[in-house]
Structure 1
């Protein structure tokens, strides 16, 4: 069955919200809409206007390719998702992330050549 754009959007939105560990209520509060509106987006084929689409993409770190090119065979990589999440961080969070990554690199088991 071929999905229309609204069904694709709803499925991507719901998956991204769940992956972020957010309830419908929490997401609605973060972007300033009603819970009912989020349910309509996820389940009833509603689509948001540009301003709300922008907020959702940024809040949930959704790859626009998932929405605009769903036929692409490659899935969003973990690294791409991490980069989008980092883009939403403030300077302090970036410093913490960099230090954490460096610590992981420094303490990783060494592989023999």
Structure 2
């Protein structure tokens, strides 16, 4: 049975916005929409365009999986935070991180 998980989109966006301590006005301004339209997305099941959804995901720093696979409940997990941090690393830092993780796994 297929569930319409996009019905949860508004709740996911609202939770991510609050988690980042952003007001509706602040987020709306950052993504170039009105706060009224953001309220409609969060509370009235309005579906944003692909372009707007892309900007919301990026601005909120959430994984697209949070929206498209909400059953995985990956929102703000330690793994997601680690992934975000790794994206900030340069090539040298990534080699160090990889060696560290391998060393941790070898001790198990």
The answer, yes or no, to whether TM exceeds 0.5 is: yes
Match of 1:107 in 2: none
Q: 1:86 and 1:26, CA in 2 relative to 1: closer, same or farther beyond 3 A?
A: farther
Q: 1:17 and 1:85, CA in 2 relative to 1: closer, same or farther beyond 3 A?
A: farther
The ranges of structure 1 where at least 4 consecutive aligned residues each deviate by more than 4 angstroms after the TM superposition are: none
Matches within 5 A, 1:10-89: 10-72=10-72, 74-76=73-75, 77-81=77-81, 83-84=83-84, 87=87
2:79 and 2:34 map into 1 onto residues whose CA distance is: 32
The Cα shift of 1:63 comes to 1.4
C-alpha distance after superposition, 1:20-64 (max 9, x if no partner):
000000001111100000000000000111110110000001111
- Judge conservation of contact 1:61–1:81 (CA < 8 Å) in 2: no
Structure 2 gap segments, 5+ residues each: 94-108
Matches within 5 A, 1:89-100: none
Higher helix share: 2
How many residues matched?
88
TM-score (norm 1): 0.65
Structure 1 gap segments, 5+ residues each: 99-113
- Judge conservation of contact 2:41–2:47 (CA < 8 Å) in 1: yes
Over the aligned positions, Cα root-mean-square deviation in angstroms equals: 2.5
2:48 and 2:9 map into 1 onto residues whose CA distance is: 9
Q: 1:82 and 1:35, CA in 2 relative to 1: closer, same or farther beyond 3 A?
A: farther
TM-score (norm 2): 0.68
